[in-house]
Amino acid sequence: MIESPVISVENLVKKFGDFTAVNEISFEIYRGEIFGFLGANGAGKSTTIKILCGIMKPTSGKVVVLGTDVISNPEKVKKQIGYMSQKFSLYHDLTVDENISFFGGIYGIPYKKLSVRKKEILSLVGLEERKKELVLNLPRGMQQRLAFGCALLHEPQILFLDEPTAGVDPVQRRIFWNIIYDLASKGMTFLVTTHLLDEAEYCNRICLISKGKVVANDTPDGLKNLLKEIAILNIECKPARKAFQIIHDMPWVIDASIFGEEIHIACDEKGMEENLDKLKSIFGKNQINILKIEKIEPTLEDVFLHLERKNS
């Protein structure tokens, strides 16, 4: 038996006057999946999520969440999903325990059940020992874990996470993702937006959106394979900015990105050695010191930048 998707988006369009924010995008998400939704600012991510959550109506297209048409019955969908924004509105002058009680009341959770859920949530996010502390005094990472716990109070089947670990240190970020993995293994579905491309590696699948259109939808490894016919070179040199300006104008360079004193070049392997010899000669004439040249495996950042420029 083929499992039905818990989220199905078909030819979704959203226009604001003459501006098309979402341009006929389609994708499906399955139960227990961690689905990454990536794109630059203004790509259409937030607009799409608002439509999926039943907050905004699309111009056209079809959106089905948990078997319900979101456009015709948004209130039913809202009861079955959770949402955590980057700026989740915790009350900093309340304690951890009081925040959970407050949001439990908003969700209409009965007192006895809320008492049980409160203990479960505190254990899940690892804040049992901090429940009497004011949120104001918690580190950013713990605040985000509390916000995450509050979004889970009503036991949603799908959770939308908008930049969930923004401003969180690597240790806290790892704890956060361990919780997500645990819940996903039990059947909860996640749609995650993030600008941290190394973090996107944690997702089962990633949908890249550019200017309102889906440009790729695959596993992290599948996305990297999009560049399998292209060689990715890492050149460490000084001064890197001057080198980048020279590289960027080379006809054999498909794409180039600068990362500090390192430059990633996407190029055709055919004739690569000859072209590199010419590049070294040009660098020498321009007093550019090459520290290292190596062929590397493409990163998600390489893929993302390549597809962004290809569709610009």
What residue spans define the domains of the chain?
Answer: 7-219, 225-310
Q: What pLDDT does 59 receive?
A: 97
Handedness of CA 229, 234, 238, 244 (dihedral sign): positive
Distance CA 146, CA 124 (A): 10
Report whether pLDDT(2) > 60.
no
CATH C-level class of 225-310: alpha beta
Distance CA 10, CA 71 (A): 12
Which residues does residue 23 pair with via DSSP β-bridges, in sequence order?
13
Report whether pLDDT(272) > 80.
yes
Binned at pLDDT 50, 70 and 90, residue 268 comes out as: confident
Report whether pLDDT(189) > 60.
yes
Distance CA 230, CA 269 (A): 7
- Contact at 8 Å (CB) between 35 and 191? yes
Binned at pLDDT 50, 70 and 90, residue 168 comes out as: confident
Q: Which of 148, 182, 183 is nearest to 164 (CA)?
A: 148
DSSP one-letter code for 226: G
Q: What pLDDT does 204 receive?
A: 96
Angle at the Cα of 152 from the Cα atoms of 151 and 158, rounded to 5 degrees: 95
Binned at pLDDT 50, 70 and 90, residue 1 comes out as: very low
Instruction: Specify the pTM.
Output: 0.86
Distance CA 298, CA 302 (A): 6
Superfamily of domain 7-219: P-loop containing nucleotide triphosphate hydrolases (3.40.50.300)
- Pinpoint the alpha helices (H) of the chain: 45-52, 74-78, 96-106, 111-124, 140-152, 170-185, 197-200, 220-224, 240-248, 272-285, 300-310
> Higher model confidence: residue 299 or residue 116?
116
Q: What pLDDT does 305 receive?
A: 81
Q: What pLDDT does 88 receive?
A: 65
Share of the chain above pLDDT 70, in %: 98
- Pick the range with the lowest mean pLDDT from 51-55, 84-88, 125-129, 188-192: 84-88
